[in-house]
Amino acid sequence: MNAKIQQLRGLLQEISDLHYISSLLGWDQQTYMPPGGAEARGNQLALIERLAHERGTSPELGKLLEELKPLAATLEPDSDDARLIKVTARDFEKATRVPSSHIVEFTQTTTLAQQAWVEARQKSDFSIFRPHLEKIVALRQEYASFFPNFEHPYDALLDDFEPGMKTEEVKTIFDSIRPKQVELIRAIASKPQVDDAFLHQSFDVSRQWSFGEEVITQFGYDWKRGRQDKAAHPFTTEFGINDVRITTRVDANYLNPMLFGTMHECGHALYGQGVAPELERTGLERGASLAVHESQSRLWENLVGRSLPFWKHFYPRLQQVFPQLSGIPLTKFYKGINKVHPSFIRVEADEATYNLHIMLRLEIEIALLEGKVLVKDLPDVWNGKMQEYLGVTPPNDEKGVLQDIHWSGGMIGYFSTYALGNLISAQIWEKINLDMPDLNEQIRSGKFEALLAWLREKIHRHGAKFEPQELVQRVTGSKIDPAAYIRYLTKKFGEIYDL
């Protein structure tokens, strides 16, 4: 290995380890840390993030990247080393624009904000969270100001989660699918509604948990390199490709949150566990983007987990675990878990309405960043857009503006990646079915090895070597295109609702 490449990898290993330490502290914060530990945890996280930022912007790293430019020009463009230099240079250029003092203040602010969000959500009282969010929005506006080269302030935030994507690009994609999804939802609304009452009854929590573990074990989740815990808002986190942890939540009176939340987070984790070992501790072991990551979680949750072939295999086992479902035919169960009905909660939304939840959040975030919407007005703005987009008005803050944890962590710019992930998942699914014509039969038999192997080869192993649009193009033959997702929704719900 070239000596300078080796030196680069050595520097990046330290930076990766610091980020993993930060992630571990964050995981504990959302799972086991007592509420009183928030201030101390904020100081600890701020220190770690400052150290990581200083190392990631050090003169030593900058000088080394300059020295590596001639070598990079001679390397195969898609090689690990070429991509490592390219991605590191991109990260370095962006990081050097942000002062360490900003990183420290942001980390301390968001740590306290997350605890305030938990309390505010429990009490359904936005006023508890409001001052924290006001500070976060101001910090995000300041962050955007460090990047005057972007066309729109929101581009700087979006780029952190979706490298290379622009605000206008996302808005154009959303504008193209919004009328088609609204048309589909209206068509469904004109038909008799399916019955899902059987999902809303008492389901033993421990049995739910065990069933979820059975499913994701069969998917291929490696328990020697992961674990599952409870959290107020489910998430997946990584401390290396050999320690990828998931969290979920369980509702004792509703089966869907645990069932599909666990599959969803497992999809993220399978991606993390599938990155090529040679990318470990280089910064390339993270996923290509949040949208590509979301394509994996939505693929396993929806295209696999909400499919009829999947339940032809797993439904007898679920009926064994929960005898109260023994009188519910498979067809009725399948329609019930796929019921289309405008809801308050994004993470519990059906596939047909889910993207509308994302679109309203994107509009709100852009308006916050532009100063056209003030934090104090958010509950009313949120409720108004819920009525406009979905025809429902949340009864309280918990089911409205406080339902997501993201803003408390400063993750403004994140939400659009969920909808983009839906689109990518459908594109990938069409390609997989071309390559594996017997895929449905494999799923019906409870066999997921070939599916996981395909995803590992085409997507997982590459980590962050390729930007999202580039990776999607390589895998499917085109950049992010909503057509496949609209085809998927139209066919699936056309059959369920006899459209």
Active site residues: 265
With 0-12 / 13-18 / 19 or more C-beta atoms within 10 angstroms meaning exposed / middle / buried, residue 310 is buried
Backbone angles phi, psi at 245, to 5 degrees: -110, 145
C-alpha dihedral, 438 to 267 to 300 to 252, nearest 10°: 140
Query: What span, in angstroms and rounded, lies between the C-alpha atoms of 346 and 268?
Result: 18
**Beta carbons within 10 angstroms of residue 42's beta carbon:** 22
CB within 8 Å of 285: residues ≥ 6 apart: 16, 238, 240, 241, 275, 279, 463, 464
**What does the radius of gyration of the chain's CA atoms come to, in whole angstroms?**
22
How many beta carbons lie within 10 A of that of residue 461, not counting itself? Answer: 15
* Residue 153, Cβ density class (10 Å: 0-12 exposed, 13-18 middle, ≥19 buried): buried
Task: Tell me the backbone φ, ψ of residue 450, rounded to 5 degrees.
Answer: -70, -40
Shortest CA distance to 446 belongs to which of 264, 289, 217?
217
Structure tokens at 348: 């519990």
CA gap 110, 106 in Å, rounded: 6
Read off φ and ψ for residue 404, nearest 5 degrees. -105, 145
Rounded to 5°, angle at Cα 167 from 87 and 97? 45
Locate tokens 């942890």: which residue?
245
